[in-house]
């Protein structure tokens, strides 16, 4: 036991002496300042640091495993388009839906896409809007049925169909009945991409100065009307003319026209048409539902990344929802206000509606015989409607 204690004491004394005399001076020695000093102190067979293999770069204290694995991200350039609208921004529903594209695509894309709204005629003067998109005069256009090229009647079936489907049936055919595929085929031939980007509820059938009781009352009437419905009215003896919304009121005021059809009550009241013609007819047989379209230059569409195309489709899909809901919610208020101002809301006499329906069937058959694209689209829609009738009849009250 005595020997063990003596050994421990001796060991401690030796350790203290070595630490003070040998190790401590080396720890306190200053580091060499230059590479020459380092090289001078190296043994003859050592390799200088400049010739040694490069060591891995030190990792900053704040670096994480995730930051080391993440790729370098280069921000994508912002997509900037010019879009002309067929409708003024102040026009409810129609112009408002066009304006929503500008605001919503910016939000959805977090500022990555900018589609600038331009008022009617500000970019394209006296030119077919679809042609202006095709040749790149504008990047995109927001249009309704009357803006489709007259020489491609099949496109009219993607805007509004006389005595045709209401919104839910129309959309069912478009997205699940083959309609969209047919539309894409027609758009390809025009050098554009078409995305359905809005919807309008059933329209009024028009404002007439006097009451109509028989088909004979239509003969000789000068009526502002466009699209396929205008061809039906012409067949029954009316004379249809094309006027934009800013010209209709003056034409009625001066007697240049006897009647005018434009849109739904909430929109018509903004134009003041009820001040010039007091008979407001329903149903709007010519446009039970109206699809609005965003037409995009094909090259601009191709340049978009897949995520950007999805963002644009999402905005347009939301526009359809918004247009349908807002349209249905606003019509009854407009009608109540119109009746308070002395407007007489009338339903078409059964005889006139029957003759209009018969005239439309004749127009559709004749157009299908003369235009193969129209025939293809009309056959698809007609077949879908016959199949859908089972559900339409059971689902309706």
Name the helix (H) or strand (E) containing 174: helix 167-176
The DSSP bridge partners found for residue 346 are 281
Report CA 281 to chain centroid distance, whole Å: 32
Alpha carbons 143 and 146: distance in angstroms, whole number? 8
Alpha carbons 259 and 252: distance in angstroms, whole number? 7
Tens of pLDDT, residue by residue, the chain (397 residues): 445 444 444 344 334 333 434 444 444 444 444 434 434 444 444 444 444 444 444 444 454 555 455 555 556 899 999 999 999 999 999 999 999 999 999 999 999 999 999 999 999 986 789 999 999 999 999 999 888 988 999 999 999 999 999 999 999 999 999 999 999 999 999 999 999 999 998 999 999 999 999 999 999 999 999 999 999 999 999 999 999 888 999 999 999 999 999 999 999 999 999 999 999 999 999 999 999 999 999 999 999 999 999 999 999 999 999 999 999 999 999 999 999 999 999 999 999 999 999 999 999 999 999 999 999 999 999 999 999 999 999 977 6
213 found inside a domain: no
343 found inside a domain: no
| Residues whose CB falls within 8 Å of the CB of residue 240, separated by 6 or more in sequence, listed in order | 222, 223, 224, 225, 226, 230, 233, 234
60 found inside a domain: no
Indicate the angle between helix axes 350-370 and 227-235, nearest 10 degrees: 110
54 found inside a domain: no
Half-sphere exposure of 23 (CA within 13 A, CB side): 7
SS3 content of the chain, % helix, strand, coil (to 5): 55, 15, 35
pLDDT of residue 57: 44
Report CA 43 to chain centroid distance, whole Å: 76
105 found inside a domain: yes
* CATH code (residue 141): 3.40.190.170
Name the helix (H) or strand (E) containing 117: strand 113-118
Alpha carbons 354 and 20: distance in angstroms, whole number? 118
Phi, psi of 290 (to 5 degrees): -125, 125
How many beta carbons lie within 10 A of that of residue 339, not counting itself?
A: 13
66 three-state secondary structure:
helix
Residue closest to 273 by CA, chosen among 193, 347, 358, 334: 334
18 found inside a domain: no
The DSSP bridge partners found for residue 239 are 222
Phi, psi of 139 (to 5 degrees): -80, -30
Q: Contact 45/51 with Cβ under 8 angstroms?
A: no
Q: Range of 104's domain?
A: 79-200+289-330+372-395
Cα distances (Å, whole numbers) of residue 194 to 79, 184, 189, 298, 319: 18, 7, 11, 9, 15
Structure tokens at 213: 């009781």
pLDDT of residue 33: 44
Task: Give the pairing type, strands 290-297 and 192-200.
Answer: antiparallel
Alpha carbons 49 and 39: distance in angstroms, whole number? 9
Structure tokens at 230: 């205008």
Tell me the residue ranges of DSSP E strands in 146-211.
Answer: 192-200, 206-208
314 found inside a domain: yes
268 found inside a domain: no
Task: Count the domains in the chain.
Answer: 1
């Amino acid at each position: 036991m005595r020997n063990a204690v003596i050994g421990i004491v001796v060991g401690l004394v030796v350790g203290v002496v070595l630490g003070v005399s040998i190790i401590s001076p080396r720890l306190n020695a200053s580091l060499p300042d230059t590479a020459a000093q380092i090289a001078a102190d190296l043994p003859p067979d050592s390799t200088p640091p400049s010739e040694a293999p490069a060591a891995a770069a030190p990792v900053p204290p704040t670096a994480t495993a995730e930051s080391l694995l993440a790729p370098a991200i280069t921000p994508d350039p912002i997509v900037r388009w010019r879009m002309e609208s067929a409708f003024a921004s102040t026009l409810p529903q129609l112009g408002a839906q066009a304006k929503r594209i500008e605001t919503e695509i910016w939000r959805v894309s977090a500022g990555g896409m900018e589609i600038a709204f331009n008022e009617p005629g500000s970019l394209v003067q006296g030119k077919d809007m679809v042609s202006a998109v095709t040749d790149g005069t504008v990047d995109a256009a927001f249009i309704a049925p009357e803006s489709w090229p007259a020489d491609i009647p099949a496109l009219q079936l993607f805007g509004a169909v006389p005595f045709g489907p209401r919104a839910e049936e129309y959309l069912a055919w478009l997205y699940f009945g083959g309609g969209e595929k047919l539309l894409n085929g027609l758009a390809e031939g025009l050098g554009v991409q078409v995305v359905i980007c809005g919807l309008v509820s059933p329209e009024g059938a028009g404002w007439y100065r006097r009451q109509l009781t028989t088909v004979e009352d239509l003969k000789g009437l000068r009526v502002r009307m466009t699209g396929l419905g205008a061809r039906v009215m012409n067949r029954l003896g009316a004379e249809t003319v094309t006027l934009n919304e800013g010209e209709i009121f003056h034409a009625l005021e001066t007697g240049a026209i006897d009647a005018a059809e434009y849109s739904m009550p909430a929109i018509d009241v903004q134009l003041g048409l009820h001040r010039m013609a007091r008979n407001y007819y329903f149903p709007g047989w010519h446009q039970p539902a109206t699809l609005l379209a965003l037409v995009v230059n094909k090259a601009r569409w191709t340049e978009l990344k897949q995520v950007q195309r999805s963002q644009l489709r999402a905005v347009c899909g939301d526009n359809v929802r918004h247009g349908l809901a807002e349209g249905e919610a606003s019509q009854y208020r407009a009608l109540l206000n119109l009746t308070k101002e002395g407007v007489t809301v009338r339903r078409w006499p059964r005889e006139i509606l029957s003759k209009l329906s018969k005239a439309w069937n004749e127009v559709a058959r004749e157009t299908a015989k003369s235009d193969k694209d129209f025939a293809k689209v009309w056959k698809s829609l007609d077949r879908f409607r016959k199949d859908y009738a089972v559900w339409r009849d059971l689902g309706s009250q």
